[in-house]
Amino acid sequence: MAKRKIRTRNHIIADLSVNHFERHALLSNFSVERIERDYGYDLLVFTYNKNGEIENGNVTIL
């Protein structure tokens, strides 16, 4: 019989951490893109000027 995958407490904490950061970024009028298939990077955050135009670059969240 094959062994089933286990969702550990570390997995849950990691997901909650990303969600917490996304919420604060979105409430600050930033946009957020999750990186699903890369180990190390979790989010890209994009910022905008007072006119709503995207600014150069982004913030990478590890």
pLDDT for the residue 62: 85
Stated pTM of the model: 0.73
Q: Is the pLDDT of residue 44 over 90?
A: yes
Mean pLDDT of 36-45: 82
Q: Tens digit of pLDDT for each residue in 14-28?
A: 889 999 999 999 999
Biggest CA pair distance of the chain: 59
Residue 48 neighbours by CB distance under 10 Å: 12
